[in-house]
Amino acid sequence: MGWFSKKTSETTAVEDVKNKSWSPFQKLKNSLTKTRSKIATKFKDVLSFKRNIDEGVLEELEVVLLESDIGIGLVTNIIEDIREAWKSKEIEDTTGVYDFIKNDLKQSLKEGVSSIKIAPDPPTVIMVAGVNGVGKTTSIAKLANLFIKQGKKVMLAAGDTFRAAATEQLDIWSKRIGADIVKHQAGADPSAVTFDALEASLSRGIDVLIVDTAGRLHTHENLMSELTKIKRVISKKIENAPHEVLMVLDSTTGQNAISQAKLFKESVGVTGIFLSKLDGTAKGGAILGMRREIDIPVKYVGLGEGVDDIQEFDADKFVDALFD
Q: What is the pLDDT of residues 140-160, one digit of tens each?
A: 999 999 999 999 999 999 999
What is the per-residue pLDDT across 236-263, written as a single tens digit (0 to 9) for each?
999 999 999 999 999 888 778 888 888 8
Q: Are residues 82 and 195 in the same domain?
A: no
Q: Are residues 166 and 264 in the same domain?
A: yes
Asked if the structure places residue 298 within a domain, the reply is: yes
Q: Are residues 157 and 253 in the same domain?
A: yes
Domain membership of residue 91 as a residue range? 33-109
Given a contact cutoff of 8 angstroms between Cβ atoms, the answer to whether 318 and 26 are in contact is no
How much is the pLDDT for 168? 95
Asked if the structure places residue 118 within a domain, the reply is: no
In the predicted model, residues of the chain with pLDDT beneath 50 are 1-18
Q: Are residues 51 and 21 in the same domain?
A: no
How much is the pLDDT for 20? 53
Q: Are residues 45 and 60 in the same domain?
A: yes
Which CATH number covers residue 226? 3.40.50.300
Q: Are residues 18 and 143 in the same domain?
A: no
Asked if the structure places residue 119 within a domain, the reply is: no
Crossing angle for the helix pair 315-323 and 97-109, nearest 10 degrees?
Answer: 150
Neighbours of 262 (CB within 10 A): 14
Asked if the structure places residue 117 within a domain, the reply is: no
3-state secondary structure of 4: helix
Specify the number of domains making up the chain.
Answer: 3
What pTM was computed for the model?
A: 0.87
How much is the pLDDT for 21? 56
Given a contact cutoff of 8 angstroms between Cβ atoms, the answer to whether 310 and 143 are in contact is yes
Given a contact cutoff of 8 angstroms between Cβ atoms, the answer to whether 234 and 241 are in contact is yes
